[in-house]
Structure 1
């Protein structure tokens, strides 16, 4: 990675994570309800039998309301479990009792959750997104590696607070793109940016 690109990513991560750390739990939960309402209203969600979702923590856009709603709707729900360096797999859960703190205290499916899931509507975390559907993660490469293998089988949806959405962010060839990015105010789909330029 070119040094200037690496530094640009590092600085942007630092800025955004600092802003996110100052969000109170109540704000995260409020945004979580808004995100859940937006997602369940999407045709892509309604058509999906399976919802793959990250389990939010440490100020991330809250996903617990969405996970609960998907379970109530009778969807098959899967969360990621880290299995090695830049290696994670999604496993089906049947209730919140199937989730406990795991890698870096991030909530994960328990070891007895063994049904692996590879396709469906995927909700992706990140530090920043842009209107061209690029995503910047946390630097571990977990989602980039997983999406490289299984991206053609999912509709990838990034969740972002308003300050996490930029007009452009630094990206590399291995950074995987989103199909949808949702903020508290917008639903942006792949092709929207190109359409704006016509």
Structure 2
């Protein structure tokens, strides 16, 4: 059975990433503005002193506007840096000058950013999400491992384009779940699916 799930995940991941690769940069930025507006209005964001966020690249839902806004608002902002095989940690940045291409050319905090952060409002990338709050990543296990360790200290919020949100996605026991999933049209919170009687 796990092999079947693994194969299903691979097929879905390939199809979605192919679709995402063809997205125009201007469209990604436009969605980024929509996501930022939605997040900034959320009580979970307003109450958080610290924002942990991925630095968008390769067609991911744009987070640069959100990062800049959080810095302007005086929130503590941290981005992930890969520190070993399937291992990452979040480090505080104080400006966009603290970010440079790192692992696989993904933007990361530069080496002199040493203050590690492990609590706050966490914005998570992914390949696909579903309405039961499952997340499918890129297959490296970085976020699953990090969330296994620190998940109780964060509110995990997944960002998804409309085509990345499914009614159900294949998941395994080690896959970590989200507290919130945001699309351009919806904000879905844990428990919303359970309230549906249809």
SS at match of 2:83: strand
Mapped pair 1:25 → 2:28: no
Question: What is the aligned partner in structure 1 of residue 65 from structure 2?
Answer: 65
Question: What is the aligned partner in structure 1 of residue 5 from structure 2?
Answer: 5
Question: What is the aligned partner in structure 2 of residue 181 from structure 1?
Answer: 181
Q: In the alignment, is the contact (CA less than 8 A) between 2:55 and 2:106 conserved in 1? A: yes
Question: What is the aligned partner in structure 1 of residue 56 from structure 2?
Answer: 56
Give the root-mean-square deviation of aligned CA atoms: 0.8
Give per-residue Cα distances to partners, 1:147-193, cap 9 Å, x unaligned: 00000000000000000000000000110000000000000000000
Alignment: residue pair count:
198
Deviation at 1:197, TM superposition (A): 2.8
Q: Provide the rounded CA distance (Å) in 1 between the counterparts of 2:164 and 2:85.
A: 26
Give per-residue Cα distances to partners, 1:28-83, cap 9 Å, x unaligned: 00000000000000000000000000000000000000000000010000000000
Give per-residue Cα distances to partners, 1:120-163, cap 9 Å, x unaligned: 00000000000000000000000000000000000000000000
Deviation at 1:2, TM superposition (A): 1.8
Question: What is the aligned partner in structure 2 of residue 96 from structure 1?
Answer: 96
TM-score (norm 2): 0.99
SS at match of 1:122: strand
Q: Provide the rounded CA distance (Å) in 2 between the counterparts of 1:3 and 1:113.
A: 40
Structure 1: segments with no counterpart, 5+ residues: none
Q: In the alignment, is the contact (CA less than 8 A) between 2:129 and 2:164 conserved in 1? A: yes
Structure 2: segments with no counterpart, 5+ residues: none
Give per-residue Cα distances to partners, 1:87-124, cap 9 Å, x unaligned: 00000000000000000000000000000001000000
Question: What is the aligned partner in structure 2 of residue 117 from structure 1?
Answer: 117
Q: Provide the rounded CA distance (Å) in 2 between the counterparts of 1:30 and 1:2.
A: 38
Question: What is the aligned partner in structure 2 of residue 37 from structure 1?
Answer: 37
Q: Give structure 1 regions of 4+ aligned residues with deviation exceeding 4 angstroms.
A: none
Q: Provide the rounded CA distance (Å) in 1 between the counterparts of 2:7 and 2:180.
A: 27
Q: Provide the rounded CA distance (Å) in 1 between the counterparts of 2:197 and 2:109.
A: 43
SS at match of 2:176: coil
